[in-house]
């Protein structure tokens, strides 16, 4: 275990605290119970136009308590770790449980599913940096971004943040698990002007190990390049064309798929992928799987929010839906077995091809490259998809000019079925790792 103290507590102290809370639930009449504790600390700094705009320290902790009285359940949460506060919270949860309706699907995970023998993952890498050093780094980065091109006229902030945290889960089946994680981020937003055109764009990086961060100057210079590339953007006339989602936006397409196969949407019958197990969702070259024990993965975890041991799962194999994404409760509602995904998937990978983005543009020929999406126009019940977009118009495989104020629309089921290719320009800055995605055709609505 990494020797890391969070919010004034060590790993041993947090595990002891969970055990004491569970004992208190039994004393107050609960037949079973589970407890989650999250504790984190860190800081963030923001520099704007060479001046320090903000310095924020954070140190948070929260306890989530769920008790079961037979098949009735009650929950409470608190951030006060004093014994009297904990007793009151347990009392409140037990009181709620006695008045709720019975739910045959409620209750703890089966003991044999719990992560008693989970691997010790290396996910905590503290960044030994002072606030003063972070401020100086941000200033250096912002200066490089502003100097990249004379058309970069202003900065809307360069930020650096670092967080160290504990995740703890325990229940009355005798399981108490704990693991530390770290998260380090830097970002930059720049503004460019040229004549009557003014645009803004950004760039960022996020890792659990600070040694993996790109250099601050590379990050801000890329923000500058992206911003300049948007100057003198045009609107398109309405048309149906091929569309490429740049890697960081392609992540959202896969995220919508995962939402549609999540247990809560399925048992509520609010998913366009209801009753699709064993059926083709994507073209046959596409597979999607999760790897929860990936070293330094931003989505890695030894157990889920039910205390169930995480495991590699294959959701799509050769285009066919193999599995839903389920926690204990949803699995019981559906008459199935949990997949260890009570808190979602962990490090999702999609099959990639051999082409980088320039080669993917050549494959597309003429169409729209989407680099930013806006709005929340996704209906998971029907699969209908409609969002505002900006990007670049492409002809003969080459970018011609920036595009703004258009809407792209389609249906997710059809979009997945008509996925042409996934690029090898994989974006690793998140829980979903994918390259740029080329779709055969979408409606682009403009003038």
Q: What is the pLDDT of residue 336?
A: 97
Q: What is the pLDDT of residue 405?
A: 94
Tell me the domain boundaries of the chain: 11-228, 233-447
> Which residue matches tokens 């399925």?
266
Measured CA to CA, the distance from residue 227 to residue 190 in angstroms comes to 7
Q: What is the pLDDT of residue 8?
A: 59
Strands 32-48 and 152-171: antiparallel
Question: Domain spanning 11-228: which superfamily?
Answer: PmbA/TldD superfamily (3.30.2290.10)
Q: What is the mean pLDDT of each run of 10 residues along the chain (447 residues)?
A: 48 94 97 96 97 96 96 96 96 95 96 94 96 98 97 97 97 97 98 96 98 97 98 96 98 97 97 97 97 96 97 98 98 97 97 96 98 94 97 98 97 98 96 98 94
CB count within 10 Å of CB 195 equals: 8
Q: Is the Cβ–Cβ distance between 344 and 262 less than 8 Å?
A: yes
Buried/exposed 252-289: b ≥16 CB within 10 Å, e otherwise: bbbbbbbbbbbbebbbeeebbbeebeeeebbbeebbbb
What is the per-residue DSSP string for 334-377? Answer: HTS---S-TT--SSEEE---S--HHHHHHHH-SEEEEEEEES--
Q: What is the pLDDT of residue 7?
A: 46
């Amino acid at each position: 275990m990494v020797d890391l103290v969070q919010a004034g507590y060590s790993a041993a102290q947090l595990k002891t605290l969970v055990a004491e809370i569970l004992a208190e639930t039994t004393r107050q009449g609960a037949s079973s119970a589970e407890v989650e504790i999250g504790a984190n600390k860190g800081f963030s700094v923001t520099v704007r136009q060479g001046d320090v705009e903000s310095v924020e320290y954070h140190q948070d902790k929260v306890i989530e308590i769920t008790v079961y009285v037979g098949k009735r359940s009650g929950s409470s949460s608190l951030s006060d770790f004093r014994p009297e506060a904990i007793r009151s919270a347990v009392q409140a949860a037990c009181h709620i449980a006695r008045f709720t309706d019975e739910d045959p699907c409620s209750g703890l995970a089966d003991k044999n599913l719990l992560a008693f023998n989970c691997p010790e993952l290396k996910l905590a890498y503290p960044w030994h940096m002072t606030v003063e050093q972070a401020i100086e780094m941000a200033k250096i980065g912002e200066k490089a971004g502003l100097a990249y091109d004379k058309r970069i006229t202003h900065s809307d902030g360069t930020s650096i943040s670092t967080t160290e945290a504990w995740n703890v889960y325990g229940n009355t089946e005798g399981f108490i698990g704990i693991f530390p994680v770290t998260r380090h981020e830097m970002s930059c937003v720049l503004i460019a002007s040229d004549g009557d055109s003014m645009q803004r764009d950004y760039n960022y990086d996020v890792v659990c190990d600070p040694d993996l961060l790109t250099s601050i100057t590379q990050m801000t210079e890329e923000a500058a390049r992206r911003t300049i590339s948007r100057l003198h953007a045009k609107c398109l006339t309405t048309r149906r064309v091929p569309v490429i989602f740049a890697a960081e936006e392609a992540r959202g397409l896969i995220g919508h798929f995962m939402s549609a196969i999540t247990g809560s949407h399925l048992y509520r019958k609010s998913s366009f992928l209801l009753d699709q197990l064993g059926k083709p969702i994507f073209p046959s070259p596409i597979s999607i799987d999760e790897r929860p024990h990936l070293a330094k993965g931003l989505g890695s975890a030894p157990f889920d929010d039910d205390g169930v041991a995480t495991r590699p799962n294959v959701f799509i194999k050769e285009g066919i839906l193999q599995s839903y994404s389920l926690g204990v409760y949803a699995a019981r509602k559906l008459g199935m077995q949990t997949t260890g995904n009570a808190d979602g998937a962990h490090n999702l990978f999609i099959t990639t091809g051999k082409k980088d983005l320039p080669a993917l543009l050549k494959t597309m020929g003429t169409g729209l490259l989407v680099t930013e999406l806006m709005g929340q126009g996704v209906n998971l019940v029907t699969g209908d998809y409609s969002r505002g977009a900006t990007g670049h118009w492409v002809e003969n495989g080459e970018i011609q000019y920036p595009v703004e104020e258009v809407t792209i629309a389609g249906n997710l089921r059809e979009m997945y079925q008509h996925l042409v290719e996934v690029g090898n320009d994989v974006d690793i800055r998140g829980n979903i790792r994918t390259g740029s995605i080329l779709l055969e055709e979408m409606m682009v609505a403009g003038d």
